[in-house]
Structure formats: C-alpha cells, structure tokens
Amino acid sequence: MPLQPARLEFTAEGTPFSAAYGDVYHSAHGGPEQSRHVFLAGNDLPMRWQGRERFVILETGFGLGLNFLATWQAWRDDPQRCARLHFVSIEKHPFNAADLAVAQRAWPQFAPLAAQLQAHWPPLTPGIHRLRLDAGAVTLTLVFGDATTQLRQLDAAADAFYLDGFSPARNPELWSPELCRTLARLAAPGATLATWSVAGAVREALAAAEFDLEKRPGFAGKKQMLVGRFRSRRPSRHTPPTDRRALVIGAGIAGSTAAYRLAAAGWQVTVLDRAAAPGSGASGNLAGVLRPLPSADDNRLSRLTRAGYLATRALLATLPAARWDPCGVLHLGREAEHEAQQRRTVEALALPPDVLQYVDAAQATALLGWPVDTGGWWFPNGGWVQPPSLCRAALAAYPERIAFRPFVAVDRLERAKSAWQALDPEGRLLAEAPLVVMASGVDATGFAQLAWLPQRAARGQVSHLPAVAAPPLDRVVCKLGYATPAVDGLRLAGATLSTGDHETHERVADHAENLARLNLMLPGYAKHIDPASLHGRVGFRPMSPDRLPIVGPVPDASAVPPNARLHHLPRHPGLWCVQGFGARGIVWSALMADLLVSRIEGEPLPLENDLVDALDPGRFVLRPQRSKGPESDS
C-alpha cells in the first residue's frame, strides 16, 4: 500500500498537530524538555549506555524526529557514551524533507544535527531506510509503514523503548496487546521502556508482555508517566563477536563492499583475490546500470531492488573516488501492452517522482534526444556506476583496517580450532581468521563448504562503441538490454547472457546481438556500425536460481536433519557468504554488505524478516530450486 505522508499543521498555539489523529506531536509546554523528561530520563539515559560498545533504542512514532534529535544530542554531550548508537523508529505517515526542515526550526539547539538529518532524509518509499550519521557512529533505521505489521518484520534487540504514538484513544492499534507482545520479542535482556501514557489498557498489555511497570511524575501538566523493565531472563541472541578479524575471499563488488562495511564496524579485514586489482572479474565492466525494478504488486524483487538502489546511492555519496553519474535511467516498454503495464505499476506504487515516473513516447524521445516508439519508466536519479572504481574506493576507505592482497589464489578452506585457514593448492597457509566471507562469485562452488550451492555461471558480453561512431546519448536507456552515455570515450551496449557457455573470448555474433538490442531500443541508432569492428568485454556472473542474492551464514549441508527449519539449520561456524548477484551487482552490493555485517554483529537488520529469509543461503538446503532461466532486465 502506498505511503500517505503526513501534513504539517499547527494548533493556534503553534504546536505541531495531526488532523488525521486529532492529536499533537508533543507537549505545548516544550517539546525537547518533554523528550528528555519522559524518554531519556524514563529509560535512565544516558547512564545506561555509558561504557557500552552498542546501545539500541526502538521508538514507535518518529513524528518530527524530536526524540531522536534530543537523544542524539544527549549522546554527543556524554563523554562516557557508548561507541555506537542505534535508533530504530517506525512511522506510518512520515513528513517530507521540506516540512521536516520547517518544523525542526522550532528547536535551534538541535540545528546542526537537524541539518545533518535533513541532508540524509530518504525519499518517502515503504520499507526500511538506513541513515548513517555522525561519521557512522549513529545509525538511524527508519521504518516507513504501519507499526502493527512492520514491528513483526523487524529483527533487533532493543535496550530501550520509546513508546510515543498518538493517544491510545485516537490510535489504539499502536498500544494493543499484540503490539506489546511484539515489543517483548524485540527486547534485549534488561530492556526498559518509557511512555507518557498511563492508560489502564496500556499498563495491562505491557504487564502481560513481561514488563514490570511503575508510575513516575509526568511532564508539565501531566501528573504521571509510565516506565518499565523487561523481566524475562532469556539469553541474548544478538551478541557480537569478540575476535574481530575477518577474511574476505574475492575483491569484486560483493567482497569489496562487505570488507568496507566490516571495517566501518571496527573489524580488521584481509581481502584475498587471484587478480591483480579489485573488480577484475564479473565486476570489471566499464559501467553498469543503477536503478530499481518495480512491480505493481511490489513483490520481493521490487522491494529489494528499491532498497538496494537507495542504499547504493547512499554509499556512493560517501565514496567520492567511486565514479558514477546520476544521469537518469529510462526503461522503455517492449511494446504497447508492456508500456501500459509499466504505467499501471507507477500508479499502483505511487512512489515519489524523484524515484519513479511514467513518461510517454514523446516525453521519452525528448529525454533521449532520439525518436522512440514507446514510453516507460523514468528513474530521474538512476544512472551508471563504474564497478571497479567502487571496489577500489571501498577497499581504500579504511587503509588501517583493510589489507588487500592481489595474486592470491585460494584453493580451499579448512577449519583449525577456532579459525578458518585459507590454503593454496599445495596446502600452504595464505591467511587465517575466525570469520570468513565468501564473495568469490562463480568460483564459490569450487569450495567444499559451498559445493552444494545451486549457483551457476552465466556468460555476458558487453560491446564498447566509440563515442564518435554514434549520436550523443545523455541518459541510460534499457529495453531487453541497455546502453549508456559515453564513459572514457566509449558507450556500452549489452549485454548477452548465456548459461553453460565458457567461452572467454569475444564473439562477433554477440556484438551483433548487442547492436540488434540497441537498434530495438533506439531505432536506427547503430545501423552504420559493423559488429566486426567492435571490442568489448566478457564476464561470468554468479546467478542464483530465484534471481535473488545469497547472503548469510553458510549451512552445513551434510548435517541437515529431515524436516529442518531455516532458523535451526546447522551452520559452519564463522563462515558467511555474499553471492549470487547475477547482473545486479551494483544494485545489490551496498545493501547486501549492510545485511551481512548487521547479521554478523547482531545489530538491527536493514531489511524485513521475510526478505532476510528469502536471501538466506539455507533456502536452497530446505527446498532445492528449479532454474527459472536466464534473468532479464526487461
């Protein structure tokens, strides 16, 4: 269901107000003071986060971001603060960035923080958005959607809860017994809660969910508020590793971004690759396309590519050495019926126009500067990315924590005591660490621990067209293939895709196929180009049977009992993989690296539980997949 953004309204006294719920966003007697009294002091903060490596807060109702800003400021002012602060907040009706900026002017004491928040504010699309603030020490995980459903999809261990929805009388779903039970599932040992509401039904629901409660003096004109502590003594499921050394096998876009995210979390990472430089295999193309793949029903692929697209854009903004151009991407309909379907998809999703628009054939022609016979999807902030430059930039971002070792061919992995050893063909030790991330693309199934994985190699050939050989092209265009603007004097057209094909040399027939796709997209555009005159590049993409990445702890396939369930599969301790990107490495890389490291660290996850399970490598152990044929960007 499309998001319904909030409208910025005020009472006669100037207090932010929601007409939809008939309630104010904070007390008329001072918003920041209320936040400090109820939520920070009510959860015994900052004392409880002092000296800790990580502290997680979960809030119901982000609103105007007041509680977050007050908490962030308190964290910054505390010399004994935790090393990393995670703030997870759910909002059914988020404000757009412009309204947020207007409302936050009322709190000049937070102005520098508010400006940073506004600069990172995501487009209003459903799902989870990860904002890394304060040089990465503060992570804000925004969940745009209905808390009654989205809380069930979260994986987190909250140390403190801010229960700050609208009044129980006006928004009862946010205080229901079912929701309180979900809070208990998300509670870390010793978790606390605080809320301004002392309604009897709220107290009963929280008490039934294993929270011991007490009333404290309320703020300003409110006599009482409620605090609580989770009484369950169940052990934590989210304990981070203590020995923070990792090996990453493969320096393509999957391995490089995984190494980057591990290093950002404080790990010492050694990256091993058989090639001379990062991004030399399937990630070695001169450029690739960055854009999501929508669907009218917003299926898993649609949700994942949208989240991945936004995550990659956020990562690129932090890596100035990575080459990319948000020139826009136009995905043309194959024919009139497909174009109509694209239009219906845009209408059904109702995404912000800076994420997705429908354009007709005339508008598409104007955007491209070339006549086309169909319209389609227009992604104004999509574009092209040069994968090798992203790999290099990611590995260079933390030189004190990431060691890249080229010309290292890992033949096998062996477990020795509490560490994994990477060995060469003669059995000599190359490197060792307690944690290994397999990101070696098509080579992964050559390792015994992943030999069962139904990943296949797909040959792809891209053609390089000299920029002088064809008319100008300022946008990326897709239609059963793609073409890019000039990059270093060359335009890319491609790409072929064939499984079971191991030919490493370029073929004239494949160049001819790419030119045919190009002429289908842009009629007559390449009619004077001889395919025999072209050069290009051949790569082999790691494809999964269901077109989704393969990310998570690696199962021990030889030890899986009958009727096993995903969350109870035996796993190889310390062995993880980030595989199966297929033709979407640019779209997947940043998001999958974040998911991988968040799972390793036991941090709040950047994706909903159903998507996390859909990516888990264990899915292939439980239900062997049938191939769906070559994936297509059509």
pLDDT digits (tens, 9 = 90+) for 177-209: 999 999 999 999 999 999 999 999 999 999 999
**Cβ proximity of 268 and 245 under 8 Å:** yes
Q: How far apart are CA 294 and CA 291, in angstroms?
A: 10
Name the pairing type of β-strands 84-91 and 138-144.
parallel
What is the Cα–Cα distance from 323 to 486, expressed in whole angstroms? 13
- The confidence score (pLDDT) of residue 25 equals 66
**CATH entry, 245-281+388-455+545-622, from 2.40.370.10, 3.40.640.10, 3.30.2130.10, 3.50.50.60:** 3.50.50.60
Distance CA 571, CA 405 (A): 28
- Rounded Cα distance, 341 and 351, in Å: 16
Q: What's the confidence (pLDDT) of residue 505?
A: 96
524-to-11, 18, 465, 517, 520 alpha-carbon distances in Å: 61, 55, 15, 11, 8
Q: What is the 3-state secondary structure (H, E, C) of 162-183?
A: EECCCCCCCCHHHHCHHHHHHH
The partner residues of 383 in beta bridges, in order of sequence, read 290
Report the candidate in 567, 562, 556 with the shortest Cα–Cα distance to residue 610. Answer: 567
3 state SS of 337 = helix
| CA nearest to 331, candidates 369, 296, 377 | 377
Looking at domain 9-230, its CATH superfamily turns out to be: Vaccinia Virus protein VP39 (3.40.50.150)
For domain 326-382+459-538, give its CATH number from 3.40.50.170, 3.30.9.10, 1.10.1740.10, 3.40.50.300.
Answer: 3.30.9.10
- Domain spans, the chain: 9-230, 245-281+388-455+545-622, 326-382+459-538
The maximal CA–CA distance of the chain, rounded, in angstroms, is: 83
* One-letter amino acid for residue 169 of the chain: A
Residues 307, 308, 313, 316, CA torsion sign? positive
210 is written with which tokens? 């294993």
Q: What is the Cα–Cα distance from 633 to 483, expressed in whole angstroms?
A: 12
Enter the tokens of residue 569: 């599969």
List average pLDDT for each run of 10 residues in the chain, which is 634 residues long: 85 73 62 94 98 96 95 98 97 94 93 97 97 97 95 96 84 88 95 94 95 93 92 81 96 98 97 96 94 96 98 97 98 96 97 97 97 97 98 98 97 95 97 98 96 95 93 95 95 93 95 96 94 96 95 95 91 97 96 98 97 97 57 49
**pTM to 2 decimal places:** 0.95
Beta bridge partners of 130: 141
